[in-house]
Amino acid sequence: MPATDEGRGTAGPTATSHGGTLRPAFGSLGSLLVRRDVAVATVAAVALAVVAATLLGAGATTVLLVAAIGLVLLAALHSHRQNRLVMYELRRRVGQLDHEVTRLVGRFDTTEQQHEQIRAEVRHTTETVEAITLDPAVERVNEYMKRVVVRETGHTYREVESLLNLYSMITVEGRVPPMRGWAASPDVLLLLVDLVRTERPGLIVECGSGVSTLWCSLALRQFGVDGRVVSLEHDEAYARQTNKLLAEHGVSHLAEARHAPLEEFDLGDHSAPWYSRRAWADLDRIGLLFVDGPPGTTAGQARYPALPLLADRLAANAAVVMDDTVRRDEQDIIKQWLTDVPTLTEERFKLEKGASVLRAAG
């Protein structure tokens, strides 16, 4: 029977269950007598002792003494039983505590192991990061990335500045397609627009049509220059697209993109495909020549034929603008032109993609 049941409904000392309090079970004789079962047993013992003593002819003092001894024995028996219950409960609680302590120690060990594992991983990561940071190759890449970021930020700023200039110089009413990338960048467009403003060319010829055709024609209109733009375009779809753009901006009367499929030209040392002759045969006294095509994918030094083929159609004071001079191919072409025509001079512009303005002296 559980220790709790033992004392239920009684006023005597009890041992409570797990979670309760433990009280010593050494009750006093008085409290023992209050209990009904003990009281009944006591009365029975006293009665038995009195009956036995009377039968045996003992005196009243002896009878009382026997009764008292019986009571003391009963109290001792009861106390012994309560002590056993308390001991049982104590052992059970000690067992539980022992189990709990073992469990907590186990958990502590596991946590310690995990901490050690995490510390080892942090050490390893720190060492790896330090090794990477100190690696000269990584340092070089970092330096390179810094230079790229500084350069690109500079380019972006200058392109924004050029755009602001373009839009403040020229009235634009329609949608303008994206610049940069395959299209000319704002900085070279600003150079072209400014050449139109200052040199007032009667004929502008472009190799490769697109947004540059639009800005040149808008510049003609804006500055009241009596001139026109002819853009040679090897790709029929791009030619159509450019003509549509010109119409949207109401400058079709000032500019046209001519479809000029590429055909092979024999230029002595340099044979290459270039815009078909019939597309430019009628052009003469070109004041501004913008060389931005054909694309490099069509041939090595694909833009080289522009000067040999159009040289005798340039006006005396013509400006030849070569775009993309950051590229090796375009630099080699200019070198070759300068060799071919010793009177040619070059002015370089540090633009995003690089540009040079070439003029024949005299």
Ligand X SMILES: C[S@@+](CC[C@H](N)C(=O)[O-])C[C@H]1O[C@@H](n2cnc3c(N)ncnc32)[C@H](O)[C@@H]1O
Residues near ligand X (CB under 6 A): 182-184, 208-212, 233-235, 238, 292-293, 295
By C-beta, is 89 or 292 nearer to ligand X?
292
By C-beta, is 78 or 353 nearer to ligand X?
353
By C-beta, is 92 or 155 nearer to ligand X?
155
What is the C-alpha to C-alpha distance for residues 329 and 97, in angstroms, rounded to an integer?
86
The dihedral formed by the CA atoms of 94, 100, 105 and 110, expressed in degrees to the nearest 10: 160
DSSP summary character for residue 227: -
Give φ, ψ of 171 to 5 degrees: -80, 120
In the complex, minimum distance from the CB of residue 206 to ligand X, in angstroms, rounded to a whole number: 6
The residue number with the shortest CB distance to ligand X is 210
* Tokens matching residue 38: 């003990």
In the complex, minimum distance from the CB of residue 219 to ligand X, in angstroms, rounded to a whole number: 13
Radius of gyration, alpha carbons of the chain: 55
Nearest to 286 by CA among 333, 229, 240: 229
At residue 269, the 3 state secondary structure works out as coil
What CA–CA distances, in Å, run from 268 to 177, 215, 255, 274, 281? 39, 36, 33, 14, 20
Give φ, ψ of 233 to 5 degrees: -135, 120
In the complex, minimum distance from the CB of residue 178 to ligand X, in angstroms, rounded to a whole number: 9
By C-beta, is 295 or 300 nearer to ligand X?
295
Beta bridge pairs of residue 264: 273
Beta bridge pairs of residue 314: 286
Q: Say how many Å lie between the first and final Cα of the chain, rounded.
A: 127
Which amino acid, residue 283?
L
By C-beta, is 82 or 356 nearer to ligand X?
356
Which amino acid, residue 347?
E
By C-beta, is 187 or 235 nearer to ligand X?
235
CB of 353 closer than 8 Å to CB of 324 = yes
Q: Give per-residue burial for 191-217: e unless 16+ CB within 10 Å, then b.
A: bbbebbeeebbebbbbbbbbbbbbbbb
By C-beta, is 78 or 303 nearer to ligand X?
303
In the complex, minimum distance from the CB of residue 161 to ligand X, in angstroms, rounded to a whole number: 19
By C-beta, is 25 or 205 nearer to ligand X?
205
Tokens 């709990």, located at residue: 100
What is the C-alpha to C-alpha distance for residues 228 and 277, in angstroms, rounded to an integer?
19
What is the C-alpha to C-alpha distance for residues 215 and 200, in angstroms, rounded to an integer?
14
By C-beta, is 3 or 192 nearer to ligand X?
192
In the complex, minimum distance from the CB of residue 362 to ligand X, in angstroms, rounded to a whole number: 29
In the complex, minimum distance from the CB of residue 210 to ligand X, in angstroms, rounded to a whole number: 2
